Amino acid sequence: MQAIVVSPPKKGIEYVDFQEEDGTGIPVRIRETGICGTDREIVNGQMASASLPRGSSFMVLGHEAIGVVQEDGESIRKGDLVMPVNRRGCGHCLACLNGRPDFCETGGFVEAGIKGMHGFMRETYWDEERYLVRVPRGIEDIAVMAQPLSDLEKSMEEVMQVQNRLPWKCPDGSLGCRKALVVGTGPIGILTSLLLRSYGLGVFISNVREPSREEQKIFDDADITYYNSSSGYSALRDKHGEFDLVFEASGADASMLPQLLGIIKNNGVLGLFGFPRSGYASFSHTDLQNLVYRSIAVVGLINGQKPHFQSAMNRLAAWKVMFPVATSLLITRVLDHTERDSVREALTSKTPGEIKVKIRWS
């Protein structure tokens, strides 16, 4: 069976015939896999934390997948459409023993196609039923987005828990009086902005360029305000005031972080989701004093688990009604796995205007 494999830190991909010798559980035929920035960082040799499965000289790539169950299980049936949960626990710490490897205390977790576990860019694999999440048939065209969205469902859960420290809801019980800025217009930034609109916040989104035509259609559909931040954020703050929540999803240079702290309201939150690729963040003692006196929370956000995958599926189904134009534009391109040159190119670099590229396996 064909698989796309990597050997980090070596650059590039290979196609190999691969089948795990100890395949146990339920067979799942992969229908499609998504390509994300993490895949490209691994392929380009830029992710230091990427590691091979024990005893293997390579790793199957891919952590976003939709598959078809090939045999009946206890609660799932042959023919069910499913998405696998990509992070698996260490088996030792309290968090992992309670089904929350997103908070693994030992760092011994594995992550499909990223860290110590073969991923899903292959034709068939075997998995335990507890790691499979049913996909509603009505969203199968965009269901691959549920993996990144699950991370954001968990992220918003954390933000809401942090903000339970104060009366954060508006007098009418909603979040309509609260305002958020999402930094970055990649798939994570777009999904985050749609999620925040679902929560009822007023949402702004920024990048250091003008939006593409497709991006603007998405923002118009969801009533999201775009801001070109190529000259910084002073003009945005002067016109619209400070923000209750700033969500960094760009992975831009770390030197930008002090600017973002400067546009957050008292008691606000800076959520860090993107991994900075370069630079240093310099904070003076005055900056840190302001952080304390203004009660601003800085929260690192990563990885959802099975309940968040389930929430993401429900969210995508709702968005089909709430944001029909936006959801129709989330998938930019679909490649067949046999189009090897195109797949190599897509796994190496992002094309202008791209949101999500899928690889079709069956």
- Mark the binding-site residues for NADP(+), compressed into ranges: 185-188, 207-209, 273-275, 301-303, 350
CA-nearest of 251, 6, 275, 276 to 114 is 6
Longest dimension (CA), the chain: 61
DSSP, collapsed to helix, strand or coil, labels residue 326 as helix
Positions at the binding site = 38, 86, 111, 147, 151, 185-188, 207-209, 273-275, 301-303, 350
Angle at 75 (CA atoms; ends 74, 78), nearest 5 degrees: 85
Question: Which ranges of the chain does DSSP label H, i.e. alpha helix?
Answer: 37-43, 94-97, 146-163, 187-199, 213-221, 234-240, 257-261, 285-293, 306-322, 324-328, 340-348
Q: What is the DSSP letter of 169?
A: S
In this structure, the number of other CB atoms found within 10 A of the CB of residue 359 comes to 28
Torsion of Cα atoms, 316 then 321 then 324 then 330, to 10°: 0
- Number of helices (H) and strands (E) in the chain: give both, helices first: 11, 19
Kindly list the strands in the beta sheet with 116-117, ordered across the sheet, starting from the edge strand earlier in the chain: 87-88, 110-112, 116-117
Query: Which residues have CB under 8 Å from 46's CB, separation 6+?
Result: 277
Token pair listed for 143: 């269901």
Helical pair 146-163 and 187-199, crossing angle rounded to 10 deg: 50
SS (H, E, C) 99-161: CCHHHCCCCCCEEECCEEECCCCECEEEECHHHEEECCHHHCCCHHHHHHHHHHHHHHHHHHH
Positions at the binding site for substrate = 38, 86, 111, 147, 151, 303
182 in Cβ contact with 193 (< 8 Å): yes
